[in-house]
Chain A
Amino acid sequence: MLSLSRQSWLEILAEAWKVYPLEACGLLMAESARSGQSSSGQTGLDKPIKVFRPIHNAAQSSRIFQLDPMEYMKAERAADDAGLEVVGVMHSHTHTAAYPSPTDVAEATKPLVPPTWHWAIVSLAWGYPELRSFRVAEGQGDWSTRSGIAEERVWLNG
Chain B
Amino acid sequence: MSEISVRLPTVLRPQANGQSSVNVTGSTVGEVVDGLVADYPDLESNLLDDGGAVRKFINIYLNDEDIRFLEKLETPVVQGDEVAILPAVAGG
Chain B residues whose C-beta falls within 8 Å of the C-beta of A87 in the assembled complex: 10
Size of the B side of the interface (Cβ < 8 Å), in residues, is 24
Contact assessment for B10 and A79 in the assembled complex, using a CB-CB cutoff below 8 Å: yes
Question: Once the chains are docked, how many angstroms separate the CA of A87 from the CA of B9?
Answer: 11
A-B CB pair tally, cutoff 8 Å: 79
User: B50 → chain A, closest Cβ, in Å?
Assistant: 13
- Rounded to whole angstroms, the CA-CA distance of A23 and B91 in the bound complex is 10
Establish whether residues B10 and A85, one from each chain, have CB atoms under 8 Å apart when the complex forms: yes
B interface residues (Cβ-Cβ under 8 A, vs A): 7, 9-12, 14, 18, 20, 45-46, 57-59, 61, 64, 66, 84, 86-92
Q: Do B9 and A86 have beta carbons less than 8 Å apart?
A: yes
B92 to A, closest residue via Cβ: A103
> In the complex, what residues of B have CB within 8 A of residue A103's CB?
90-92
List B contacts of A114 (CB < 8 A).
11, 14
**B46/A66 in contact, CB under 8 A:** no
Question: Number of contacting residues on A, CB 8 A?
Answer: 35
Is A73 touching B64 in the complex (CB atoms < 8 A)?
yes
Are B90's CB and A112's CB within 8 A?
Answer: no
Report the nearest B residue to A87, measured CB to CB: B10
Q: A70-B64, A107-B90, A107-B91 are in contact. List 17 more A-B contacts (CB 8 A).
A: A59-B90, A65-B92, A67-B90, A69-B61, A72-B9, A73-B86, A76-B84, A77-B7, A86-B11, A89-B91, A103-B90, A110-B57, A111-B46, A112-B46, A113-B11, A113-B87, A114-B14
